[in-house]
Structure 1
């Protein structure tokens, strides 16, 4: 009796060679380069980098998030995040509001200008993802997400799942 393939597409995929894994790693590097290329061009016009993009993305995903929460999500030093946030605030893209319950907290929100930049950056990435997803098909999309989630550290997976629930997906 033949063994039925599992939801991941077959038992053979569970025993990948080092060469197959190397090709997957390279594919990830090159895909990431493509995924960030369009936003990088937009960011460069305003002398911003990927750290600015990540901050804008997660503030947009969770308006009112605290600086502490953003530190946890981004995994950067407080000094590094403060430098990024200071620039975004000076340029009128982000505002920090004092917490209602804890006045020591700063809740981050995008301004209209910040939302416009974040939308331009996200639209570029959504266009690339949409085209790739359409080309790959629904089963590949599901498998791709499973692989990405399996690669996440447990703490990051919790953040991801929480943002999934908050986003209503």
Structure 2
């Protein structure tokens, strides 16, 4: 029996705990397929996130990627050095500001990104079909409501691109 929105305003700690645990296990499932692909290349989730967002915003700057990922410069530099050295990412000097570095996926990087995204899209497609359109819309609302304002701005910018 479906609960109304009003009844969900009074969630018990136990219901919230179950939701938290569901998020943990769903995330584990969501990352399992890409993790197997990444492991074959000696990469981890940080590499996946960098590849994903460079694909979504070709030419993004290192500073913008730092802001999106919310990691330290040292951590991102380690990831980018590996991806550049392995020929998956290209770093180009900015045309207007020579201090800026713009990031692009190479053909090899784009192929790896496609494999990773295909695996996640298949899992999400199956889950969305099983849940139905109302649940999908509600799920997105919940996810957006959980985002910090800065994260929501990044998400909205990427969504507005329609890429």
TM-score (norm 1): 0.94
The aligned residue for residue 48 of structure 2 is 53
Q: Which of residues 89, 92, 95 in structure 1 aligns to 2:87?
A: 92
Report SS of the residue matched to 1:92: coil
- 2:97, 2:4 → 1: CA distance? 50
- 1:134 paired with 2:135, answer no
1:44 equivalenced with 2:73 (yes/no): no
1:108 is matched with which residue? 103
TM-score, length-scaled by structure 2 = 0.97
Secondary structure of the corresponding residue to residue 51 of structure 1: helix
**Per-residue Cα deviation, 1:128-156 (whole angstroms, up to 9, x for no partner):** 00000000000000000000000000000
Partner of 2:78: 83
Query: Separation in 2 of the partners of 1:76 and 1:98?
Result: 22
CA RMSD of aligned residues (A): 1.0
Give structure 1 stretches of 5+ with no counterpart: 1-7
Q: Are residues 1:159 and 2:154 paired?
A: yes
Equivalent-residue separation in structure 2 for 1:22 and 1:89 (angstroms): 41
Off by >4 Å, runs of 4+ in structure 1: none
Deviation by residue 1:71-94 (Cα, 9 ceiling, x = unmatched) = 000000000000000000000000
Instruction: Tell me the distance in 1 between the aligned counterparts of 2:49 and 2:4.
Output: 33
Max Rg structure: 1
User: What secondary structure sits across from 2:71 in the alignment?
Assistant: coil
Instruction: Indicate the SS of the match to 1:107.
Output: strand
Partner of 2:63: 68
1:3 is aligned to none
